[in-house]
Chain A
Amino acid sequence: MSDLMTILPQLTFSVVWTDLSPWAWFGLKLVQAGLFAITLALLVAALVLADRKIWAAVQMRRGPNVVGAFGLLQTMADALKFFFKEIVIPAGSDKFLFILAPIIGLVMAFAAWAVVPVAPGWVISDINIGVLYVLALSSLGVYGIIIGGWASNSKYPFMGALRSAAQMVSYEVSIGFIILTVIFLSGSMNLTTIVDSQGAGIFNWNMFLLNPFGEYGWKIFLIAPIMFYMGVLFFISALAETNRPPFDLPEAESELVAGYQVEYSSTPFLMFFFAEYVNIMLLSAMMTILFLGGWHAPLDIGVQFIPPFFWFFAKTAFIFFMFAMVKAIVPRYRYDQLMRLGWKVFLPTALVAVALVSTFVVAANNFGWNA
Chain B
Amino acid sequence: MLIAITFYLMAFTAIASAFMVVASRNPVHSVLFLILTFFSAAGLFILMGAEFIALLLVMVYVGAVAVLFLFVVMMLDVDFVELKQGFLQYIGIGATVALILLAEMIMVGAAYFMGETKTVVPADPNTSNLEAFGDVLYTQYAGAFEAAGLILLVALIGAVVLTLRERKGVRTQDAVKQMSRTREDGVELIDIEPGQGLR
Partner of B59 from A97, A136, A143, A146 at Cβ < 8 Å: A136
Q: Is A76 an interface residue (CB 8 A)?
A: no
Q: Is A93's CB within 8 Å of the partner chain B?
A: no
Q: B175 on the interface (CB 8 Å rule)?
A: yes
A129 touches B52 (CB 8 A): yes
B64 in contact with A139 (CB, 8 Å): yes
Q: A169 and B64: CB pair below 8 A?
A: yes
B67 located at the interface, meaning its Cβ lies under 8 Å from any Cβ of chain A in the complex: yes
* B35 and A143 contact, CB distance less than 8 A: yes
- How many A-B pairs fall under 8 Å by CB? 64
Residues of chain B contacted by A26 (CB below 8 angstroms): 2
Most B CB within 10 A of own CB, among A129, A133, A336: A129
Contacts of B67 in A (CB 8 A): 142-143, 146, 165, 169
Minimum CB distance partner of A176 in chain B: B59
Nearest Cβ distance between residue A147 and chain B, in whole angstroms?
7
Q: Whose C-beta in chain B lies nearest to the C-beta of A22?
A: B2
Cβ of A234 under 8 Å from chain B: no
Residues A165 and B71 in contact, CB atoms below 8 Å apart: yes
In the complex formed, the residue of B with least CB distance to A150 is B74
Q: Smallest distance from the beta carbon of B172 to chain A beta carbons, Å? A: 10
How distant is A180 from chain B, measured CB to nearest CB, in Å? 13
Q: A129-B51, A129-B52, A147-B32 are in contact. Are A136 and B63 (CB under 8 A)?
A: yes
Contact B32 A336, beta carbon cutoff 8 Å: no
Q: Does A189 contact B (CB under 8 A)?
A: yes
A364 at the interface (CB under 8 A from B): no
Query: Which of B1, B28, B63, B128 has the largest count of A CB atoms less than 10 A from its CB?
Result: B63
Residue of A nearest to B58 (CB): A136
In the complex, residue of chain A having the shortest beta-carbon distance to the beta carbon of B57: A136
The answer to whether B2 touches A189, judged by C-beta atoms less than 8 angstroms apart, is no
Give residues of chain B (28-87) contacting chain A, Cβ–Cβ below 8 Å. 28, 32, 35, 51-52, 55-56, 58-59, 62-64, 67-68, 70-71, 74-75
CB neighbours of B1 from chain A (8 A): 22
CA of A150 to CA of B72, assembled, Å: 12
* B residues apposed to A, CB below 8 Å: 1-2, 28, 32, 35, 51-52, 55-56, 58-59, 62-64, 67-68, 70-71, 74-75, 128-130, 173, 175
Q: Known pairs A127-B51, A150-B28, A165-B71. 20 more at Cβ < 8 A?
A: A22-B1, A128-B129, A129-B130, A132-B56, A135-B55, A135-B63, A136-B59, A140-B58, A143-B35, A146-B67, A150-B70, A162-B71, A165-B70, A169-B63, A169-B64, A169-B68, A172-B63, A189-B130, A337-B175, A340-B175
A-B contact pairs, 25 of them (CB 8 A): A22-B2, A127-B51, A128-B129, A129-B52, A129-B55, A133-B55, A135-B59, A136-B55, A136-B59, A139-B63, A139-B64, A140-B63, A142-B63, A142-B67, A146-B67, A146-B71, A150-B28, A150-B70, A150-B74, A165-B71, A169-B63, A169-B67, A169-B68, A337-B175, A340-B175
